[in-house]
């Protein structure tokens, strides 16, 4: 039975603590991890993340369950932040724990690829010069998701 942990809020997360929480799982042999950050450049100051409360959590759980059907996982942790985030701050944490590295690493990649296309979040960029712009969906994200 895979242990799924989902959260959507403005709070940050502690990668080491999150990882430590999975180290005691019986049979665990490895944990895949991905941390997504607010990428700077072009005068970007703040990223504002909006989501669809209720649907977001359900969509994230569905993605985690899909990964658990495909790989032999012991745990999945998905933490996604919303609200105002500054350049360099973490946005999203993905952890996948398994007995072996193949499942842990593949599932981690799968989870972040699907989070980008199948969970209702939207990013707005705010620049130092006052410009504001909604981020457009990228075809490469769709392609990465379809590759699974």
Binding-site ranges for other proteins (CB under 8 A): 36, 49-52, 54-55, 58-59, 80, 91-92, 112, 115-124, 134-138, 141
Going by C-alpha positions, the residue among 145, 31, 10, 142 that lies closest to residue 80 is 10
CB of 36 to other proteins, least distance (A): 6
CB of 70 to other proteins, least distance (A): 19
Going by C-alpha positions, the residue among 13, 55, 48, 51 that lies closest to residue 34 is 13
Q: Which is nearer to other proteins, 29 or 40 (CB)?
A: 40
Q: Which is nearer to other proteins, 96 or 112 (CB)?
A: 112
CB of 49 to other proteins, least distance (A): 7
Q: Which is nearer to other proteins, 5 or 123 (CB)?
A: 123
């Amino acid at each position: 039975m895979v242990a799924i942990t989902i959260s959507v809020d403005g709070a940050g997360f502690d990668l080491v603590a999150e990882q430590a929480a999975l180290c005691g799982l019986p049979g665990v042999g490895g944990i895949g991890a991905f941390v997504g950050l607010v990428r700077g450049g072009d005068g970007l100051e703040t990223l504002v993340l909006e989501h669809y409360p209720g649907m977001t959590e359900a969509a994230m759980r569905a993605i985690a369950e899909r990964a658990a059907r495909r790989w032999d996982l012991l745990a999945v942790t998905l933490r996604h932040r919303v609200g105002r985030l500054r350049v360099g701050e973490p946005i999203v944490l993905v952890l996948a724990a398994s007995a072996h590295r193949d499942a842990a690493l593949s599932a981690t990649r799968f989870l972040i690829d699907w989070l980008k296309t199948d969970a209702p979040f939207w990013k707005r960029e705010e620049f130092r010069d006052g410009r504001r712009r909604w981020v457009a969906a990228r075809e490469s994200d769709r392609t990465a998701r379809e590759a699974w």
